[in-house]
Amino acid sequence: MSDTIDAVIGRRVWDSRGRPTVEVEIRTTSGAMGRAIAPAGASTGSGEALDRRDGGSAFAGLDVRGAVASVNGEIAEALKGRPVDDQAGIDRGLVELDGTGDKSRLGGNAIIATSMALAHAAAASAGLPLWRHLAGEGEPGPLPLPEIQILGGGAHAARRVDVQDFMVIAVGAPDYPTALDWTADVYRAAGRILADAGKLQGVADEGGFWPAFDSNEEALDCLLRAIEASGHAPGDDVAIALDIAASDFGTGGRYTLARDGREIDSDGLSEMLLGWLAKYPVVSIEDPLGEDDEEAFARFTKAAPAGVQVVGDDLVTTNAPRIAQCAALGAGNTALIKPNQIGTLSETHEALETALAKGWGAIVSARSGETEDVTIVHLGVGWGIPQLKVGSFTRSERMAKWNEGLRLAEQVPTGTALPPRTAYPWGRK
């Protein structure tokens, strides 16, 4: 007889932007416990599950008391007595109980925290680490390759520059711990360069430096110089990854650039970005065009140099049918996987499987509003997702995840090595 759910507790806790969010704790009759916290995005895609938010005065529209009440009321009532290992059945039940299609009645935040807490409780009940429980009978993947923000911009840094994330991927690192070492070298080098130039303005939402740059290109030049100054070979050892988050500065194929207010069309934006791909060692570019600009997204994907990863985030919002639709159009070749975009772990897994079945790559990702929750690292290992995106290499809500990866590196039976270089499209050696 499988262990059953005894109690579901919703709790109001805080995220890294100082906003309330939802924590869920699930206890079983055998005494097992699982706990998870919902993250929150700032540059959200329009297809995302909707958080339930409320509150007056300082928290107008930002509080989560209603979502917490959903957990302690309807959700707790529906889950009590159910087998803790029935993730698929319970996730389906949550979607049906909500009944809206966008999860707005119970709250996307209430539902994803419940769904993730359930996985933690089932793992604890079985006496397994979460990654092992998630892998089931299958072989867990190796540690995912880290994608880490060095400079922040866009909606996460008051639009000082258009591009939201200037990141690095240590493509030449032999293993996960070394990838973190090399990224730390680049982060420190960037800090020194910015401080010397008097361009430092603290850190953006995800902990990357928030520089006083006057153009996207100035940021790209700085990042390239930081890689060089760190002693690692740009492109071969440490490459650049960008999240343009273009939906944040354009709709209907018209884009407005932050510094000069200039408006450009889809072709103009594509041309600018393709120029960067030719000039800088960029191996991955996310949301280069807006979520409603699929045709241009497809043209860009085709025009991008071979081996460059073109990632859909706002474009596909971790939604399996949408990933299939974009794959058919040729818009993108890699899906960003954010569990709270779709709202349950089962639907997240379906999105991942759809992406992989279409020949796409996949990156499991944190949100700009985060907490100490480390569930996504276990998804990366348990489900064999090849890459992991978690903002910067500072701020503890980010370090909780990178450090959890180091712990898992001691446990994953396939060892700590990244998949063979040839498994990655950007292999350059």
Ligand X SMILES: C=C(OP(=O)(O)O)C(=O)O
For residue 397, the one-letter residue type is: E
For residue 245, the minimal CB distance to ligand X (Å) is 5
Active site residue 206: yes
Catalytic member of 48, 103, 338, 350:
338
293 annotated to a ligand binding site: no
Q: Which one among 6, 51, 243, 373 touches Mg ion, defined by CB under 5 A?
A: 243
286 annotated to a ligand binding site: yes
Give 35's strand partners.
Answer: 25
Point out which span in 200-208, 238-246, 295-303, 317-325 binds Mg ion (CB under 5 A): 238-246
Tokens 């100054």 correspond to 229
365 binds, among ligand X, Mg ion, none (CB under 5 to 8 A by kind): ligand X
Taking Cα atoms as reference points, which of 164, 167, 223 lies closest to residue 193?
Answer: 223
Task: Specify whether the CB–CB gap between 42 and 368 falls below 8 A.
Answer: yes
Position of minimal CB gap to Mg ion: 313
Answer yes or no whether residue 313 interacts with Mg ion by CB under 5 A: yes
41 binds, among ligand X, Mg ion, none (CB under 5 to 8 A by kind): ligand X
For residue 368, the minimal CB distance to ligand X (Å) is 3
For residue 81, the minimal CB distance to ligand X (Å) is 35
Q: How many CA atoms does the CB half-sphere of 86 hold within 13 Å?
A: 16
Helix (H) or strand (E) holding 296: helix 294-303
Q: Which is nearer to ligand X, 242 or 257 (CB)?
A: 242
Helix axes 216-229, 176-196, angle to 10 degrees: 120
Catalytic member of 206, 370, 397, 404:
206
Q: Which is nearer to Mg ion, 237 or 248 (CB)?
A: 248
Q: Which is nearer to ligand X, 294 or 313 (CB)?
A: 313
Token pair of 411, please?
A: 């446990």
| Interface ranges with ligand X (CB under 6 A) | 41-44, 164, 243, 245, 313, 365, 367-368
Handedness of CA 268, 270, 274, 280 (dihedral sign): positive
3-class DSSP state of 255? strand
For residue 353, the minimal CB distance to ligand X (Å) is 21
- Kindly report each contact of residues 195-201 with a partner whose C-beta sits within 8 Å and lies 24 or more positions away, as own/partner: 201/160
Task: Specify whether the CB–CB gap between 174 and 337 falls below 8 A.
Answer: no
Q: Which is nearer to ligand X, 42 or 272 (CB)?
A: 42
338 annotated to a ligand binding site: yes
Specify the DSSP class assigned to residue 264.
E
373 annotated to a ligand binding site: no
313 annotated to a ligand binding site: yes
Helix axes 108-126, 375-382, angle to 10 degrees: 60
334 binds, among ligand X, Mg ion, none (CB under 5 to 8 A by kind): none
What are the backbone dihedrals phi and psi of residue 402, each rounded to the nearest 5 degrees, phi first? -60, -40
354 binds, among Mg ion, ligand X, none (CB under 5 to 8 A by kind): none
Taking Cα atoms as reference points, which of 398, 410, 407 lies closest to residue 167?
Answer: 398
For residue 143, the minimal CB distance to ligand X (Å) is 20
Q: Which is nearer to ligand X, 146 or 234 (CB)?
A: 146
333 binds, among ligand X, Mg ion, none (CB under 5 to 8 A by kind): none
For 419, other C-beta atoms within 10 Å of its C-beta total: 15
Task: Specify whether the CB–CB gap between 156 and 42 falls below 8 A.
Answer: yes
As a whole number of angstroms, the distance between CA 271 and CA 303 comes to: 10
267 annotated to a ligand binding site: no
Q: Which is nearer to ligand X, 219 or 412 (CB)?
A: 219
For residue 364, the minimal CB distance to ligand X (Å) is 11
Point out which span in 21-29, 60-68, 195-203, 307-315 binds Mg ion (CB under 5 A): 307-315
Give 388's strand partners.
Answer: 146, 364
> Residues at the annotated binding site for (2R)-2-phosphoglycerate?
164, 338, 367-368, 389
Active site residues: 206, 338
> Residues at the annotated binding site?
164, 243, 286, 313, 338, 367-368, 389
